[in-house]
Structure 1
């Protein structure tokens, strides 16, 4: 029998990360990220009415860009035209009347991830030992390949045969990709960054569709996802929940379409940003025949019932979902937590690497999750 280990790991960037996503005061970081997302949305409007101009100024103030083109967390890039005027008396006026009046954008300032954090990320990848690894929040394909070729050998692990990634819809450098090895080769890729419904573009990043073929000829399709975050939305997260619901419904459609093509071995992996009882994932978790590997009787939770931060049950937001044919071949799986720093209240909850003594050096605040498949 031949084994395939399929895993998902939100690496939270391998080398560089937006500074605002590493703030000690998350309330501050949440406000800036929310302002950034809203500004990016409003800036694309054809016409800026009075209310829009006032809101754009307010968002610039939150990001620290009202009086300067740069702040600790963000930079206002202006290529052509004019967005605003800064007056000597300290006032700032937004002079653009629509998108055609200026060419530019706001980008987030990045900083290097600590070297030890990158090492811990490599150690997690090594110790999980996945043959097919869906990776989330990766800066780019060249950096994913660099991580595989340079960082993995530093911790005694051989590079992956393939490192693949397509730029998605998020401009913060948090894309989704895949690493494959040991006779699991990608034969085709489909991107869904342009998928739309009645409310517009669906995926915050992508539902990257990777078609693989094993050396024995068996076909496997892996859908790698990172759904809309609820980390900095409004109280109760109604907007994020609606977006995740749309994303779950679309992934379910893609999955059913693959099944209709006659493909039996399908895995949906990634950070879906809600727990199974949250409601926003019902179209995927309740309305399809996909099964979470954590439902397997030989699944090892490793101390907690969640995958994010403290590992509480409602923090089970990372998934490996298997089609009936794959789940029938599953022998178990687990959550790997050694790269997640144990904060207050979790001191004895799980084992961590001896070198992981600060949260800034953790591999990620997400644990990796995996499923083991034994082929007959």
Structure 2
């Protein structure tokens, strides 16, 4: 049985708010200019227009992310459903509709989507845990149309749960034939109200050998400008995950795996409730964990917070195994062949990944093979 975790950073389209905004000094200048204009008692028409421009540039005029209408394609026509309106045929020869709708998402390059599939197909996991996918419809399109390009048989089951935000950063699972999803439970691991936290999702799965495993998929607090605050939030999340793990073990559920994007290196104190206070084992510590190592002098270097010697990318994605599963591990590793190495270290990548925009993700796919 091969299990993998992969933060794909969306499949086909990405919310505009998630793209990097390198404002730099411009942003500071805009704020200063707006402050100056707002202090004026009398404002000319030109100054009023400039205030509107600056408000837009700074982000004051961001619309509410709550959709007031949903646009869908059905039988070759576009239908729009509003909050207080029935479904109406809006785009056809009969209605002569020529309206417009602002898109909240931007497309991902098709080659980048192909590279995501290429990475998954190269490892060919029986169970795939996913982070940062748009929705189940997007994954099913990816599953049925993109993965088969690489001689990959589509997954038989998939399940996606809505996260706590509206940015299309959902978590999901895909399973091959013979693996049955028996139960799904969500756990609220957020003590502090924040925009970035996700729930912990627990999957109970029956394997072809009739064994039962419990997989916990999570996406933890990302670093923010307030580092101490983000560490505090993440540590509270990790503490709750550790409590849930200990409860499962106490109930005799010994085949447990915790995976996902933790957004912190292993030496970070925010991860200590799992790393130091449980018996969970990091997959990178298994003797079978092998990866194509860095090129040049970096091959013999072990950067602080990296996955291992010669794999000097900062670890953000983890797979933790209970002792019962860790001792049954037969093989493991990660695939970063579709990641773009902006700076050192450098490593082997697919020839078709020629720039950052064509990379599958900024995260590797981490996998482990267990004999159950």
TM-score per shorter chain, which class?
0.7 to 0.9
Residues in 1 aligned to 2:362 and 2:257: alpha-carbon distance in whole angstroms = 23
Superposition map of 1:227-306 within 5 A: 227-230=220-223, 233-234=224-225, 237-303=227-293, 306=306
Shift of 1:22: 3.3
- The aligned residue for residue 362 of structure 1 is 359
Residues in 1 aligned to 2:67 and 2:5: alpha-carbon distance in whole angstroms = 39
Shift of 1:202: 11
- The aligned residue for residue 328 of structure 1 is 327
Larger radius of gyration: 2
- The aligned residue for residue 226 of structure 1 is 219
Aligned residues: CA RMSD: 2.9
Q: Which runs of 5 or more residues in structure 1 are unaligned?
A: 32-56, 81-106
The answer (yes or no) to whether the contact 1:212–1:220 under 8 Å persists in 2 is yes
Shift of 1:127: 0.7
Q: Which runs of 5 or more residues in structure 2 are unaligned?
A: 29-50, 69-101, 295-301
Q: SS of the counterpart of 1:372?
A: strand
- The aligned residue for residue 86 of structure 2 is none
- The aligned residue for residue 8 of structure 2 is 11
TM-score (norm 2): 0.74
Residues in 2 aligned to 1:323 and 1:151: alpha-carbon distance in whole angstroms = 34
User: Structure 2 vs 1, CA of residues 338 and 27 (structure 1 numbering), >3 Å: closer, same or farther?
Assistant: farther
Q: Deviations over 1:344-370 (max 9, x none)?
A: 333xx3211111101001000111111
Residues in 2 aligned to 1:337 and 1:26: alpha-carbon distance in whole angstroms = 30
Q: Deviations over 1:157-181 (max 9, x none)?
A: 1111111111011221111111111
From 153, 160, 166, the equivalent of 1:158 is 153
Aligned pair 1:75/2:63, yes or no? Answer: yes
The answer (yes or no) to whether the contact 1:195–1:203 under 8 Å persists in 2 is no
From 352, 368, 372, the equivalent of 2:369 is 372
The answer (yes or no) to whether the contact 1:168–1:175 under 8 Å persists in 2 is yes
Aligned pair 1:205/2:198, yes or no? Answer: yes
- The aligned residue for residue 119 of structure 1 is 114
- The aligned residue for residue 129 of structure 2 is 134
Residues in 1 aligned to 2:221 and 2:180: alpha-carbon distance in whole angstroms = 29
Q: How many residues align?
A: 302
Q: SS of the counterpart of 2:327?
A: helix
The answer (yes or no) to whether the contact 2:189–2:236 under 8 Å persists in 1 is no
User: Structure 2 vs 1, CA of residues 351 and 195 (structure 1 numbering), >3 Å: closer, same or farther?
Assistant: closer
